[in-house]
Homo-oligomer: A and B are copies of this chain.
Amino acid sequence: MIGFTGNPLDRADALRHDAAALAAATVDWRARLLRLDGLMPGTTDDGRLAWTSMADLPDGAEPVLLGLDDGRPCFAAAIPGLRTDTAPAMRSPALMAALAALAPGEAAIYAAARSVLHWHARHGHCANCGTPTALFRAGWGRRCPHCHAEHFPRVDPVVIMIAENDGRALIGRGKGWPAGRYSALAGFLEPGESIEEAVAREVAEETGVRVGGVRYVASQPWPFPHAQLMLACIAEAEDDAITLDTNELEDAIWVPRAIVAQVLAGGEGPFVPPPPYAIAYTLLNAWVGEG
């Protein structure tokens, strides 16, 4: 399963819009509250997220409806003043260990919860007029009491891709990455672009390689540091000369399919692959499977 997918909860959109039913859900005796330390998940020994009762909702916090688990309401707490600059970063060893220990659907619940809580923490004011906003729709929106603008959780589309040429994949290495790590190229999609156009632009910007046909492979929600939608693609390179944008990448290399297969299988090779919960891993695997 692709990392952070497979959330087993029913998001129960209708419940978000029904104030009376929502109020009842928060005091439902079966309701449970996700246990978090800041944005760090609590986990159990058997690979599950830790939950507590709604009685543990902190003073001043507001419940965000994560969804229903076979009818059982599941919430997370939006805590005013939550610090995001001290939150576990993508590569914090403690967070990585916690995620690695979670069953796939559990990681997906965490990703959704973290994304929404991070958004509340960083979007407490109206972008239109600056007034402090109030949570509504069970935590899936904020509303401005002054200009009445409604704001909804932001998800940034990101294209992530390998270019292929003559049976080789183009992968790159960002600054500060773990030793030896190479992965797919990636970048934010901009207003006015299709996925296919953003892929071509990003590959050209980062490596100077021009690509033609682009095909979509898979997508993944990614919660670090804020909510992103990873759009994984394979692009046909029209040439293989690399002109590196050293502001973006430390290195980029062409790797033959057999070598990529060997590295993914745990063997020796010129690079350390991305972790299995990253869609770049799924993408490289899919490309190897096409050979």
Contact = CB atoms under 8 A, between A and B. Distances in A.
Interface of A: 2, 4-5, 7, 11, 13-14, 17, 108-109, 111-113, 115-116, 119, 122-132, 140, 149, 151-157, 188-197, 201, 205, 216, 218-221, 223, 227, 229, 231, 245, 247
B108 A5 contact: no
Contacts of A191: 111-112, 115-116, 119, 153, 155, 221, 223, 227
A130 B128 contact: no
Contacts of A218: 194
A132 B98 CA distance: 39
A116 to B, nearest CB: 6
A108 B227 contact: no
B188 A152 contact: yes
B201 A11 contact: yes
Number of copies: 2
Contacts of A201: 11
A143 to B, nearest CB: 13
A10 B245 CA distance: 16
Given A112-B191, A155-B189, A155-B191, 8 more contacts: A2-B194, A11-B190, A113-B192, A130-B130, A191-B221, A192-B227, A194-B221, A195-B231
Nearest to A9: B192
A125 B127 contact: yes
Contacts of A196: 5, 219
12 contacts: A11-B190, A123-B128, A124-B128, A125-B126, A130-B131, A140-B190, A153-B190, A155-B156, A157-B157, A192-B227, A194-B220, A194-B221
Nearest to A132: B130
A205 B197 CA distance: 31
Contacts of A109: 192
B192 A219 contact: no
Given A191-B112, A221-B193, A125 B129 contact: yes
A231 B124 CA distance: 29
A197 B157 CA distance: 15
A110 B165 CA distance: 34
Contacts of A221: 191-194
